[in-house]
Every structure is written in structure tokens, then in C-alpha cells.
Amino acid sequence: QHQQQHQQVQQLIPENEVIISVSVHNFDKTVKKRQEFLFLGPQSLTELKDNISCVEDHIFCGPEMTSGYFFIEGVFYNDLRGENAVDYSKNILDVTEGANFLSKSMENTTFLDLSIVLGKEYIYCHQGNHEHVIIFTDVRFATRVDDREVNAYPKEIFRSRERLRKCSVCEIHSAKYVCYDDKLMAETPCFFCESCYGSLHYDIDGNLLYSDYKVFPYHQE
């Protein structure tokens, strides 16, 4: 009976389903690839945004700043799902009036709706002005070797190896916290392991020694 229920819930992709390969890169001279995914044609662009891993989403006001856009072939696809969402493309459209740029909803746009050029670099912008390069590397029909379950997608097929940042103090343990404008340190930002952060910022009774700095959990890049 349980197996029958599983088969009823299981949703399979049709044989002629379109699969799109998308890679995410650093926005710098190296254009280093960070991630690569497989998406189904009917999935929305928000599925791509929600699966991009970036440390900027976890520091400062990152968790609250959910807005962002993809800029693809002259169209800004904006994520306006959040209650306090900001249309990042508005100012750009205002100053480039007459450039024939368009603005559309990321949530209501599927991969099949896009006009793309394979191998061309497009832009993903979030956290105000933090950018990544997005490249569509392949578009094809599903084959027998592909996962048939809809729930298997998006499917991450590549992630760059994490660069483990060490504690700035002991230079032995992995960083757990990142601090900005910490008066004890010669540079900002600085990174601390659990032990060094505790011993430098709290007394033996667990009281914070000073608070005129910013601290955030550090997520290894």
C-alpha cells in the first residue's frame, strides 16, 4: 500500500522534456565556476536564484535582503517575492531610458520563456550590487540516463571545492565568525574560530567585553 501511495505521489517528467544546464561563476577576471545545475524547462527563474550559494546572503543584512535580478538579453528579471522587496532594475531603467531594456517578474518566468545564447555571459545581481556571471551551457531533450522524477530538479551537478578560511588569531582552526571594525584586530574583516572569538570577547563569567563591532556567523566560501 505504501509503495502504491509513493507511485501516486511520484511525478515523472515527460519524454520530450527540455533540460537546461546553467553554470554560476565569480564576477571577476578569473570567472571561476562555482556551481552548475540542471533545470527543467517549465521551472521558474526563482529556482535558480534560490539555489545559488553565496556568502553575501549570510552576512550583514543579507538574510533580509532577498531582492535580486537576472539580466538576460536586455531583460531584467526581478525577484519581488519578499515583503520588502526592492526593484534593483528601476534606477538602471530610469537612467537608460530609450535603451529598450525591459523588466519582468522572475517568479513568473520559466526557462522556456527565455531568449538566450549558449555560452554567453549574463548577470545575476543580489545584495544591492553583488554580481555573478551566469552561463547557459546546454539545452537538450531529456534522455534515458536523466533522472525521471520531477523532484530531482533542480539538480546540482558541480560545486567548487570550499576554500577553508583559517582563524586570523590561531591560524589553526577553521573560521566560525567574521568581524568588522573590531578594535582588537589590525585589519577588517577578521576571522575567528569558536575558541579565539570567545576568549577575546568574553570574560570568565561569559560577559561580553565590548560591543562596538559587527559580528556574523561565517559560512565557508
What is the tens place of the pLDDT at every residue in 1-36? 555 555 556 799 998 999 999 999 988 877 889 999
Identify the burial level of 174 via C-beta atoms within 10 angstroms of its C-beta, where 0-12 means exposed, 13-18 middle and 19 or more buried: middle
Q: What does the alpha-carbon distance between residue 61 and residue 66 come to, in Å, rounded to a whole number?
A: 10
Selection from 37-46, 86-95, 184-193, 207-216 with the highest mean pLDDT: 37-46
Does 82 have pLDDT greater than 90?
Answer: no
* 169-188 average pLDDT score: 91
Mean pLDDT of the chain: 89
Kindly report the pTM of this predicted structure. 0.74
Q: How far is it, in rounded angstroms, from Cα 83 to Cα 184?
A: 38
Is 81 in contact with 66 (CB distance < 8 Å)?
A: yes
Report the DSSP pairing between strands 177-180 and 130-141.
unpaired
